[in-house]
Chain A
Amino acid sequence: MKDINLVIEICGSAGEGTISAGEILSRFMSAQGYEIMSFDSYPAEIRGFGKCVAHTRISSDPIYSPGKLADVLIALNDIHSISQLSALKNKGILIYDSQPARPHEEDKSVLGWVDPGVISYGIPLTMLAQRAAGSARGRNMVGLGAIAAIFHMDKDGFTASIENRYAKKKKIVIDSNVNSFLEGFEWAGKHIEKIDSFSFEGVTMPLQKEKLIINGNQLVARAALDANLKFYAGYPITPATKIMEILSKELPGHGGTLLQTEDEIAAIGAVVGAGFGGIRAMTATSGPGFALMTEFTGLSVMAEVPAVIINSQRGGPSTGIPTKTEQSDFNAALSGGTGDCPRVVLAPTDTFSCYQATVLALYLAEKYQTLVVVLLDFFLSNSIRNIDIPEKPSESLLNANIAPLPEELENYQRYKITETGISPRAIPGTPGGIFFSTGLEHDEYGRPNYSDKGHLKMTEKRYKKYAGVLTEAPIPQISEFEGEMADIGVISWGSSAGAAREAVMLARKEGIKASSFSSMMLSPFPEKELIDFSDKCKKILVPELNYGGQFANFATHIIKRPLERLNFITGRPMASEDILEKMREM
């Protein structure tokens, strides 16, 4: 069977149905049994005239990265699509509106900018949409119809996906969309002389289990609900807002409370307050909000109160670039704040692991009575995958607080020094468990104590938790070695890990002996595993989406050897193509 591996981009203006067309395409392809990864980019500004791009990778094999360049670009809007041409492969296919209402002014036609080699199919999108539904609104569906015909996609399946998408709407909406699709399908089938060689004909994917089509933000919210979250406080910020919006709908039904606060300080403050009260609480934010929350990171660690912060990274520093993806909060997550402040930091490496990371974060925060930061990024938050429905967390992950035994409540020491660093924690309301917590250094009862010995003992206690956390951390993902040694070992984290893994697979096909390493657990870090990996690699490459090489610097201290870096701050997710190119140079 031939492999399908195709990237389709739809580019239009906000309000032209770009994103919904992408969504339908993804759902259709998922229903057909393909793996999908899709990623929309849209203007930071409120709905208006900004450029929207729906990027969808479709593959008959597992997908690890979104694909850097598109094979097909459907241009719903000429002006915006012109700037999107640079993301089209030089042998790519352009679908454009061949009958604009009036001639384009100079340089305003997408066709005026295509490079030689690009195959352009002109479809009268507007005219066909008018014909199908009496308005130009269905141009997006005409476009989908056209590619369905040109690439021999399953017409009925596609139609069903459109009907599904608008199932809750009025019949006229469903009909308009379906008719526009069919109009495009028929027109292109009749008029387009196919000169590309791409086709879905004769490809049938095996039937799959029911898939979940979901993005990272949705999955974080779902995981939090499954993991017994009872309180969420937050302040709107791109790209994390969606988590709050979902939870505001879902939490009350799950017996929880959602609080929209006046700022991020209040949000994390309320989370710490709720954590003190003994329920699972979290907040989600992005760079600027995380900067404010830093005030409370120390208190959570010092007073040993569970708290979870989801930080979906965007371009920084400061307000930065709200709608671009970046991995530049590594340092802030690991060490933002003052003092010796051991906290747990997790970074999911793909959409699916957003679920695991959230469940784990709430569990670890509760059990180890500390702060857990989960680092997402704009890409993970918003990119959509079709994944197997995640298994709900086991009971042991849902009730993790180690409560004091009755005998421990006699002369109760809230901050008792233990082997694990975990002191049994009484929840307010527990008779006999009364204690006092403070952000001041304290003794085992919680009373302020500034003695040097006391400070050392309590600091050690807080650090001791790391050993336990490491035993519960997911094992690092290491691709199998071909032979004893690899020429190049690629170490990555977060959303770049997928591209790294894919790059390694591609490199092997070219005869480069390569292997990859990534760990969801960033703090504490599985140092031994990394050193073992590094010892088996001749050269080390660290690709990441920041300028200063924050993770590379961190890794250097662990493996104590020079390494190669690959840093991008283009706002686009890491591409396997870029890593591969760098590997070839090495």
Chain B
Amino acid sequence: METIKSDYLDEKLDQVRAKDFLKYRSGDLPTWCPGCGYFGIMDALYKACRELELKHEDICTVSGIGCSGRTPIFINSYGFHTLHGRSIPVATGLKLAREDLTVFAVAGDGDALGIGGGHLPHVARKNIDITFLLFDNSIYGLTKGQSSSTTPHEMKTNSHPVGNPDTPLNPIKLALAYGASFVARGYAGDPEGMKTIIKQGIQYKGFSFIQILTPCVTFDKTNRTWKNLKENVYNLTLHTQADNMETAMRAAENEPFGVGLFFQDKERLSYQDILRNLNS
């Protein structure tokens, strides 16, 4: 296969090589738009894996369809780019089959909350030990700018040119309500903060739900822009244990966006541990 190389890319590659998490990158270059928030997410992911010293072959990244669906291509791990909305069930099967693997399930807002929305409550209540990364840019990017389940009310999109008639979902509140036992939020502009959250998520034995706020620089010029996001996020200063559901719910109210760990239930057993208990 012929690879197109430009000076820009060479330069970019050199920069990346200079960092020690390079080895978690695959040889393929991301196809996302320049300036996309997803680059930041990837950086955080690489760093988290490095710091936890995960073996490449023991990581499996499962994605759905959409811009986020490409994620596994860019991680030097086993990767499975599945169907729209279905990263959760596939990751569930994979984790139950192979407890030894670290399984990431990746989904966009349309993927996870729209077409695949039905899977979320169940993976949460079962407490399957996977790390779920919701790349939330509140728009359909790959199909070029239609409203998603998190697009703000009255925002103009290509599917709703006079304004989105729907009320957006609040993913953190949903996850809390579904009984997810680890609920956190990251921000694409803060790779360090995200890294910490992702690391915690990986280490957490159970379903960890991580919403990541990210702009779509191409199809959202008004709402979730880098500028707006920057102005609207703050670091959560919750109780360090983050074990209070009510506090978490309140903190999950709409903007400004609290970033950090909302809630975790350290006592709760993962699905496989529950099965072991039941069958012993």
A adjacent to B, CB under 8 Å: yes
Q: Indicate if the CB atoms of B97 and A272 lie closer than 8 Å.
A: no
Q: Indicate if the CB atoms of A269 and B28 lie closer than 8 Å.
A: no
Residue of B whose beta carbon sits closest to that of A454 = B1
B278 to chain A, nearest CB (A): 8
Interface size on A, residues (CB 8 A): 46
Give A61-82 as 1s and 0s: 1 = Cβ < 8 Å from B's Cβ atoms.
Answer: 0000000000000000000000
Q: Which residues of A contact B57 (CB under 8 A)?
A: 428-434
Residue of B whose beta carbon sits closest to that of A273 = B93
A146 to chain B, nearest CB (A): 46
Give B105-135 as 1s and 0s: 1 = Cβ < 8 Å from A's Cβ atoms.
Answer: 0000000000000110110000000000000
The answer, yes or no, to whether B82 is at the interface (CB within 8 Å) is: yes
B179 to chain A, nearest CB (A): 14
Q: Indicate if the CB atoms of A439 and B93 lie closer than 8 Å.
A: no
Q: A431-B57, A436-B73 are in contact. Are A270 and B96 (CB under 8 A)?
A: yes
Q: Indicate if the CB atoms of B97 and A273 lie closer than 8 Å.
A: yes
Interface residues in B56-93 by Cβ distance below 8 A to A read 56-58, 60, 62, 72-73, 76-83, 86, 88-93
* The one of A267, A438, A443 that contacts B81, using a Cβ cutoff of 8 Å: A438
Interface residues in B4-61 by Cβ distance below 8 A to A read 26, 28, 55-58, 60
Q: Indicate if the CB atoms of B96 and A276 lie closer than 8 Å.
A: no
Interface residues in A271-301 by Cβ distance below 8 A to B read 271-279, 281, 295-296, 299
In the docked arrangement, what's the CA distance between A437 and B100, Å? Answer: 20
Task: Give the dominant DSSP class at A's interface.
Answer: mixed
B183 to chain A, nearest CB (A): 20
Residue of B whose beta carbon sits closest to that of A446 = B79
Give A241-284 as 1s and 0s: 1 = Cβ < 8 Å from B's Cβ atoms.
Answer: 00000000000110001010111011101111111111101000
Residue of B whose beta carbon sits closest to that of A272 = B90
The answer, yes or no, to whether A525 is at the interface (CB within 8 Å) is: no
Q: Indicate if the CB atoms of B275 and A277 lie closer than 8 Å.
A: no
Interface size on B, residues (CB 8 A): 40
The answer, yes or no, to whether A230 is at the interface (CB within 8 Å) is: yes
The answer, yes or no, to whether B101 is at the interface (CB within 8 Å) is: yes
Q: Indicate if the CB atoms of B28 and A447 lie closer than 8 Å.
A: yes
The answer, yes or no, to whether A166 is at the interface (CB within 8 Å) is: no
In the docked arrangement, what's the CA distance between A262 and B73, Å? Answer: 29
Q: Indicate if the CB atoms of A435 and B78 lie closer than 8 Å.
A: yes
Q: Indicate if the CB atoms of B92 and A279 lie closer than 8 Å.
A: no
Q: Indicate if the CB atoms of A266 and B119 lie closer than 8 Å.
A: yes
In the docked arrangement, what's the CA distance between A345 and B247, Å? Answer: 54
B152 to chain A, nearest CB (A): 29
Q: Indicate if the CB atoms of A261 and B122 lie closer than 8 Å.
A: yes
Q: Indicate if the CB atoms of B98 and A263 lie closer than 8 Å.
A: no
Residue of B whose beta carbon sits closest to that of A442 = B81
Q: Indicate if the CB atoms of B97 and A281 lie closer than 8 Å.
A: yes
Q: Indicate if the CB atoms of A274 and B97 lie closer than 8 Å.
A: yes
Most buried by A among B80, B93, B96: B93
A251 to chain B, nearest CB (A): 10
Q: A262-B118, A429-B98 are in contact. Are A277 and B93 (CB under 8 A)?
A: yes
Q: Indicate if the CB atoms of B77 and A434 lie closer than 8 Å.
A: yes
B80 to chain A, nearest CB (A): 5
Interface residues in A379-436 by Cβ distance below 8 A to B read 428-436
The answer, yes or no, to whether A7 is at the interface (CB within 8 Å) is: no
The answer, yes or no, to whether A503 is at the interface (CB within 8 Å) is: no
The answer, yes or no, to whether B236 is at the interface (CB within 8 Å) is: no
Q: Indicate if the CB atoms of A230 and B97 lie closer than 8 Å.
A: yes
Q: A266-B119, A439-B82 are in contact. Are A273 and B100 (CB under 8 A)?
A: no
A1 to chain B, nearest CB (A): 51
Q: Which residues of B contact A205 (CB under 8 A)?
A: none
In the docked arrangement, what's the CA distance between A273 and B26, Å? Answer: 22
Residue of B whose beta carbon sits closest to that of A414 = B78
Residue of B whose beta carbon sits closest to that of A303 = B80
Q: A257-B96, A272-B93, A278-B98 are in contact. Are A262 and B119 (CB under 8 A)?
A: yes
The 9 closest A-B pairs by CB, nearest first: A273-B93, A269-B89, A270-B93, A277-B97, A274-B97, A273-B90, A438-B81, A273-B94, A266-B89
17 contacts between A and B (CB under 8 A): A259-B92, A266-B86, A267-B89, A269-B89, A273-B62, A273-B91, A273-B95, A273-B97, A275-B97, A276-B94, A277-B97, A299-B82, A303-B82, A428-B94, A429-B98, A429-B100, A436-B78
Interface residues of B (CB under 8 A from A): 1, 26, 28, 55-58, 60, 62, 72-73, 76-83, 86, 88-98, 100-101, 118-119, 121-122, 272, 275, 279
